[in-house]
Structure 1
Amino acid sequence: MANVLSTGAGALIAFQRALATVSHNVANVATDGYSRQRVELATRNPTDMGYGYVGNGVQVADVRRVADELATARLLDSGGELARLQQLAALASRVDGLLSDPATGLAGVWSNFFDAASGLGAAAASSAAREDLLADARALATRFNQLDGQLDAMDDEVDAGLRSAVAEVNRLSSEIARLNGEIVSNPGHVANDLLDQRDRLIAELAGHTGGRTVAQSDGALNVVTPGGQALVVGNTAARLTAVADPYRPDRLQLALEGNGAQVRLDAATLGGKIGGLLEFRGGVLDPALAELGRLATGLAATFNAQHRAGMDLNGQMGADFFALPAPSAYPHAGNAGDAGLQARVGDLAAVDGRNVLLRFDGSAWSATDPNTGAAVALSGTGTAADPLRVGGVEIVVGGTAAAGDRFLLQPTAGIAGGLGVAIADPNRIAAATPVKAQAELGNLGSGKVAGLRVDDAANPALLANVEIEFIDADRYTVDGAGPFAYTPGQPIAANGWSLTLDGAPAAGDRFGVGPAGAGSSDNGNALLLANLDDAKRLNGGTVSLNGALGGLTTSVGSSARQADQAAQAQQILHDQAQSARDAVAGVNIDEEAANMLRFQQAYQAAAQVIATADGMFQSLIQAVSR
């Protein structure tokens, strides 16, 4: 009778705990990261009655968490990758919108500027046309400044995102380490909810850094980044910190602090949101800043060169039309010498905008790509007479460099932010060809000046008066020098200019070349300025300014589309991983309802066993009391 009561009581307790577990599952059906739990029932040890063993009912052997570690690991990986791609896609799309939107992009103001230059070509002496050109030039320069400023602001956003992520990563790492300690300190009696809590925190951490887990034999989970750096080892968490870039203190990098050492992390060693931020900076933002600066450099250098080849209304040779800052060379924070680098654009066609790392070994300079470490062609010694030449940039070294000193050269990044219009007086716009040519009235031949152009505006004798006299149809002299052979259609050149003749000059024919003078309405240089947007001055003379403008918007748009498509594809993979995990560990309401009914009935049956034992006991009491 006592055995019946004990068996019933044990069963009652077991099924009560089973019902409590089912209730716990149902209550957490909407809890993120919850893994359903299952009561494991086992028979109690039987009693040897001499004639055989008699069973003693049921007991709870364990309450197990239903989980598939492989599915959980797959979900962890896909979650970190999804967070990286979503972060990258969101930021890249903002840059794309900034550069491609008509209200904020360059295309509209760029077109207006060159249309104004064409208008000046049609009316070179018009004050209104000159004012229009200056106004549109200012608008174009302002747009370059605004775009550079917006991109710089996004760079600051990246730094702010890194600071925020660092604080969250450190919090999560500490919590995971604490949970590891609790789990390890209770072997064999770990609360399943602690395991779920740890998995959820690890998933959140992977959303910031990416990575994977490595299980220890004692039940702790170590967390490492995609690059293999340990964030959590047992009950110890490394500390992530934001440190200043050694070349640009205004920018942040990440480092891990642990065991008294600090290890700087490369962008490629991190995933998750942090990886997305760093990949955006290195793969989208920095190239966009560099290409925007290269476009500004190309515009200013090309337009200035042609503007210097013209003459303004005051009778003076043209000066620079645009003002542009020089390329930047940042010293490493650990440099021992006092050297400083002064850079300038030497060969526009060779400028590609890519950063270059310059290193001094004590006797010579070398150049490498800072991202790949590949050698970059470098010539010169760094003196004013023989500057260092790399990627179209010339560099003069001032001061004394020590062995091991390093500098980061950024040929075009940030240049667009300093673009400005160098002239304010409309009369200083050099629309005229600085020299003019005419045939003497008494010439007997049919030769006429067909074209006159300036080939070298820096020639000191450019504006000198020159007389060309033909000895006969095949020979001519220049200010008495010569004679020189003449072939019809062949240019006649002197003092930095050249001209061509139509018709056939006769013996004794003379042509005079001299300065255009003040107040000239000539439009020769204005026509050349108006067509510079199609001049192929970049990429070794193969890409025009218009082509570079289109390439900038196309490359950023392509990066944004690729990131968005990759994020969408990863979302599908992540959903599949989530479904695979939920199929094993997720709570199924229908299944739990069936279990609840089953355990309820078993509980009622166990209660009936106790009631039966009570009846037997009461019968015994009544029999004995008679």
Structure 2
Amino acid sequence: MADIFQSGISGLLAAQRSLGTTSHNISNVNTEGFTRQRVEQGTRTPTATGAGFLGNGVETQTVRRIFSQQRETAVQVATSEFQRLDTLSGLAGRLDDLVADQSAGLSPALQEFFGAVQDVANDPTSSTAREALLGQGENLAARFQFLDGRFSAINADVDRQLETQVAEVNELAGAIADLNRDIVGELGRTGGQPPNDLLDERDSLIRQLNERVSARTVEQEDGSLNVYIGSGQTLVSRYEASELGVIDSPEDPQQTRIAFTGGSDNVDITDSIQGGTLGGALDFRREVLDPARDELGRIATTVAATFNDQQNLGLQFDSGSAGQLGEDFFNLGQPQVIARETNTGTGEPVVSIDTSNIGALTGDNYRLSFDGTDYTLTNLADGSSQNLGGATAQIDGLDIDASAVTAGDSFLIRPTRLGASELTVALDRPAQVAAASPLRAVEATDPNGQGTNGGTAGISDLSVRSTSGLPLSGGENPLTLTFNATGGSGSNGAWEITDGNGATVATVDYDPSTDAGGVTVDGAGSLANYGDPTFTLSGVPADGDQLIIENNTNGRGDNTNALALGNLNEESILNGGDTTYQEAYASLVGEIGSSTRQAQVNRDAQESALEQANAARESLSGVNLDEEAANLLRFQQAYQASAQAISIGRSLFDSLLAAVR
């Protein structure tokens, strides 16, 4: 009878354990990360007899998770990428909303500023119009500062997010290391039987870790997991967790970096971090925020530099008989130069904006290094390097003087990072607006002020391109143009230009029969020494006729330079002379918008991939209540049948006892 009792009891225990496991599954149907479990059963070792082997019932071999590491890894990878794109699209969306805002963006401020310039051109004697121009200049500078301030605030938010996420990574890493210890201990105590719930908890922590940073795991022989991040740096090794920290970059103390901080030296892993919210925040800062901030600074620098240059070529209102040339309208933000933390010398390179070559200015940052022989400038945007060929150079709209740099030292150069934040208006009085041209063209007159010319020649479109030689000196009529009917090439006539001392400055061929419609004088002779003027000669002069180019005394009512200032808004200046101010800002808005849209589209696609990965995992490992309910009935019936076998065995045993009693 023993075999009946043994088999019945084994079946009873097996069914009981299966019922308990099924009940455990049902209880955890809503537990996130729970993997359903199943009792694995096998036959007991049979008993050998002369009549063959007799079975001894069933035994519970193990309780196994219905688990696929491949599907779990797919969920972890999809989670990491989704969190990266979700963070990137969220932060980029904030920046996009800022720059594209019709009221808070730069475009309205630029339009209003140049509208005020046009008002001065329309009425150059109006102090109200000049006052309004100064006010709009303040507004424009404030708008640049506001946008840069918002960029800076978003950067501060990114830094805080990095600190928070790093703290959470450290907490998760410590928890994973503790679970490794518990799991290895349980495996030892149970003879290698898996502690399923602890394994589920560890997998859940790994998924949470991947929400913050892409992590790769390798299972060890003892059942523990080693966790790696970045390019293979160890975050968890069995029972030990490394500690991450947020540090100041030795290259740029204003930028936070992520490093392992537990050892004697910090190991910077920022550039190798991928995935998760950390990867998304770093990608946003590197690919969207910093380039946008530098580009905004480039636009601000270009607007200020070009407006200053044209303002310098004009004449201030009521500036005296000789005329005072215009002063800078804006205070220009200067390039930022940051010494590497390990530098040994005290000298720094002197870097300034080359305003004469402002169109070559880029939004890229550079690293300047000196090895004792060569000065090397590396573009950090594309990685290209060039030898300066000496301590001084003019490159990409920059003047660089590295003669004070010590061998072995290195410097980060950000040409436009401060361009927007440091832009201010330099003028404080409306009369300082240089609306007039410093030169004017008039017809020669007699002592009574009557014109003496017999022809119809005249000068129009007179403007200057340099302050060299201004204001003109050398007598009342510094530059005199005298027409010689036979003095040109082929005796067809020419204008001879002399200075106030009678010295010849230039000769311009002019044939009245073919040139009466207009001849542009541009860079003739030595005119570069007299403001480098450009002008148009037209009409039919008589032999000996004279035209005078002189100082534009006081410049009252003259709007020549104001018109030139207003035209800057329509000129293609940036990107080597291909882009206007408005086009450059529109391009910035477009690039941010494109990055935002691409991140959002990729995020949505990755969300679908994550849902599919989760669905694949749940289809295998998730709890199905219908299936578990069916299992309850099945195991209940098995339990009842085993109990019935025991009952029958007892009845047979009682009958046997009664027969021999």
User: In which range does the TM-score fall when normalised by the shorter chain?
Assistant: over 0.9
1:74-123 Cα offsets, whole Å, 9 max, x none, are 11111111111111111111111110011221111111111221222111
Among 444, 448, 466, the residue aligned to 2:454: 444
Inter-partner Cα distance in structure 1 for 2:6 and 2:251: 77
| Amino acid across the alignment from 2:239 | N
Inter-partner Cα distance in structure 2 for 1:173 and 1:44: 43
Could you tell me which residue of structure 2 aligns to residue 564 of structure 1? Answer: 600
Compared with structure 1, are the counterparts of its residues 404 and 9 closer, same or farther at alpha carbon in structure 2 (3 Å cutoff)? same
Could you tell me which residue of structure 2 aligns to residue 545 of structure 1? Answer: 581
Assess if the C-alpha contact under 8 Å between 1:76 and 1:212 holds in 2.
Answer: no
| Amino acid across the alignment from 1:556 | I
Describe how 1:582-621 pairs up with structure 2 within 5 A: 582-619=618-655
Could you tell me which residue of structure 1 aligns to residue 207 of structure 2? Answer: 203
Assess if the C-alpha contact under 8 Å between 2:225 and 2:237 holds in 1.
Answer: yes
Compared with structure 1, are the counterparts of its residues 490 and 50 closer, same or farther at alpha carbon in structure 2 (3 Å cutoff)? same
Report how many residues are paired: 619
Assess if the C-alpha contact under 8 Å between 1:451 and 1:501 holds in 2.
Answer: no
Deviates more, 1:267-276 or 1:139-148: 267-276
Inter-partner Cα distance in structure 2 for 1:526 and 1:485: 29
Q: Are 1:180 and 2:200 counterparts?
A: no
Deviates more, 1:364-373 or 1:427-436: 364-373
Among 482, 486, 493, the residue aligned to 1:470: 482
Give how far 1:50 is off.
Answer: 4.3
Deviates more, 1:82-91 or 1:116-125: 116-125
Q: Are 1:45 and 2:65 counterparts?
A: no
Inter-partner Cα distance in structure 2 for 1:139 and 1:28: 62
Assess if the C-alpha contact under 8 Å between 1:470 and 1:505 holds in 2.
Answer: no
Describe how 1:136-175 pairs up with structure 2 within 5 A: 136-175=136-175
Deviates more, 1:211-220 or 1:144-153: 211-220
1:238-266 Cα offsets, whole Å, 9 max, x none, are 22121111132232111124665532114
Assess if the C-alpha contact under 8 Å between 2:478 and 2:549 holds in 1.
Answer: yes
Inter-partner Cα distance in structure 1 for 2:136 and 2:481: 45
Give how far 1:398 is off.
Answer: 6.7
| Amino acid across the alignment from 2:627 | E
Among 204, 228, 231, the residue aligned to 2:232: 228
Inter-partner Cα distance in structure 2 for 1:264 and 1:437: 66
Q: Are 1:389 and 2:412 counterparts?
A: no
| Amino acid across the alignment from 1:359 | S
Could you tell me which residue of structure 2 aligns to residue 107 of structure 1? Answer: 107
Inter-partner Cα distance in structure 1 for 2:551 and 2:76: 76
3-state secondary structure, aligned to 1:63: strand
Q: Are 1:215 and 2:215 counterparts?
A: no
Give the unaligned 5+ runs of structure 2.
445-450, 486-492
1:187-242 Cα offsets, whole Å, 9 max, x none, are 31231011111111111111111032222222222221242222122222222121
Q: Are 1:345 and 2:353 counterparts?
A: yes
| Amino acid across the alignment from 2:313 | A
Q: Are 1:506 and 2:542 counterparts?
A: yes
TM-score (norm 2): 0.89
Give how far 1:371 is off.
Answer: 5.5
Give how far 1:302 is off.
Answer: 0.8
Deviates more, 1:159-168 or 1:48-57: 48-57
Could you tell me which residue of structure 1 aligns to residue 60 of structure 2? Answer: 60
| Amino acid across the alignment from 1:395 | I
3-state secondary structure, aligned to 2:421: helix
Deviates more, 1:281-290 or 1:170-179: 170-179
Could you tell me which residue of structure 1 aligns to residue 489 of structure 2? Answer: none
Inter-partner Cα distance in structure 2 for 1:307 and 1:229: 57
Inter-partner Cα distance in structure 1 for 2:315 and 2:409: 46
Q: Are 1:355 and 2:365 counterparts?
A: yes
Q: Are 1:419 and 2:423 counterparts?
A: yes
Q: Are 1:189 and 2:193 counterparts?
A: yes
3-state secondary structure, aligned to 1:186: helix
Assess if the C-alpha contact under 8 Å between 1:463 and 1:514 holds in 2.
Answer: no
| Amino acid across the alignment from 1:213 | T
Q: Are 1:276 and 2:280 counterparts?
A: yes
Assess if the C-alpha contact under 8 Å between 1:322 and 1:423 holds in 2.
Answer: yes
Assess if the C-alpha contact under 8 Å between 1:226 and 1:271 holds in 2.
Answer: no
Assess if the C-alpha contact under 8 Å between 2:38 and 2:65 holds in 1.
Answer: yes
Deviates more, 1:289-298 or 1:427-436: 427-436
Assess if the C-alpha contact under 8 Å between 2:374 and 2:388 holds in 1.
Answer: no
| Amino acid across the alignment from 1:448 | G
Inter-partner Cα distance in structure 2 for 1:258 and 1:426: 61
3-state secondary structure, aligned to 1:520: coil
1:365-410 Cα offsets, whole Å, 9 max, x none, are 11113365431463441xxxxx3333221123474x3332110000
Compared with structure 1, are the counterparts of its residues 101 and 376 closer, same or farther at alpha carbon in structure 2 (3 Å cutoff)? farther
Could you tell me which residue of structure 2 aligns to residue 122 of structure 1? Answer: 122
Deviates more, 1:592-601 or 1:141-150: 592-601
Q: Are 1:520 and 2:542 counterparts?
A: no
Could you tell me which residue of structure 2 aligns to residue 384 of structure 1? Answer: none
Compared with structure 1, are the counterparts of its residues 32 and 372 closer, same or farther at alpha carbon in structure 2 (3 Å cutoff)? farther
Inter-partner Cα distance in structure 1 for 2:436 and 2:222: 85
Inter-partner Cα distance in structure 2 for 1:260 and 1:192: 38
| Amino acid across the alignment from 1:343 | V
Describe how 1:269-418 pairs up with structure 2 within 5 A: 269-315=273-319, 316-346=324-354, 347-370=357-380, 373-376=383-386, 378-381=388-391, 387-397=392-402, 399=404, 401-418=405-422
Inter-partner Cα distance in structure 1 for 2:312 and 2:264: 60
1:493-547 Cα offsets, whole Å, 9 max, x none, are 6311233222112123222222222261111111111110222222222222222
| Amino acid across the alignment from 1:53 | F
Give how far 1:152 is off.
Answer: 0.8
1:321-371 Cα offsets, whole Å, 9 max, x none, are 111121011000010111122211112122112111111102331111336
Inter-partner Cα distance in structure 2 for 1:526 and 1:259: 64
Inter-partner Cα distance in structure 1 for 2:288 and 2:465: 40
Give the unaligned 5+ runs of structure 1.
382-386
Assess if the C-alpha contact under 8 Å between 2:107 and 2:582 holds in 1.
Answer: no
Could you tell me which residue of structure 1 aligns to residue 509 of structure 2? Answer: 486
Inter-partner Cα distance in structure 1 for 2:264 and 2:497: 83
Inter-partner Cα distance in structure 2 for 1:140 and 1:501: 39
3-state secondary structure, aligned to 2:51: coil
Give how far 1:439 is off.
Answer: 0.9
3-state secondary structure, aligned to 1:214: strand
Compared with structure 1, are the counterparts of its residues 213 and 141 closer, same or farther at alpha carbon in structure 2 (3 Å cutoff)? same
Q: Are 1:82 and 2:87 counterparts?
A: no
Percent identical = 40
TM-score (norm 1): 0.94
Give how far 1:624 is off.
Answer: 6.1
Inter-partner Cα distance in structure 2 for 1:528 and 1:431: 9
Give how far 1:55 is off.
Answer: 2.0
| Amino acid across the alignment from 1:32 | E
Inter-partner Cα distance in structure 1 for 2:263 and 2:184: 22
3-state secondary structure, aligned to 1:139: helix
Among 544, 567, 571, the residue aligned to 1:535: 571
Inter-partner Cα distance in structure 1 for 2:120 and 2:243: 63
Assess if the C-alpha contact under 8 Å between 2:229 and 2:273 holds in 1.
Answer: yes
Could you tell me which residue of structure 1 aligns to residue 613 of structure 2? Answer: 577
Deviates more, 1:24-33 or 1:47-56: 47-56
| Amino acid across the alignment from 1:568 | D
Inter-partner Cα distance in structure 1 for 2:389 and 2:277: 41
Give how far 1:449 is off.
Answer: 2.3
Inter-partner Cα distance in structure 2 for 1:559 and 1:117: 35
Inter-partner Cα distance in structure 2 for 1:376 and 1:101: 40
Assess if the C-alpha contact under 8 Å between 1:345 and 1:394 holds in 2.
Answer: yes
3-state secondary structure, aligned to 1:458: coil
| Amino acid across the alignment from 1:481 | A
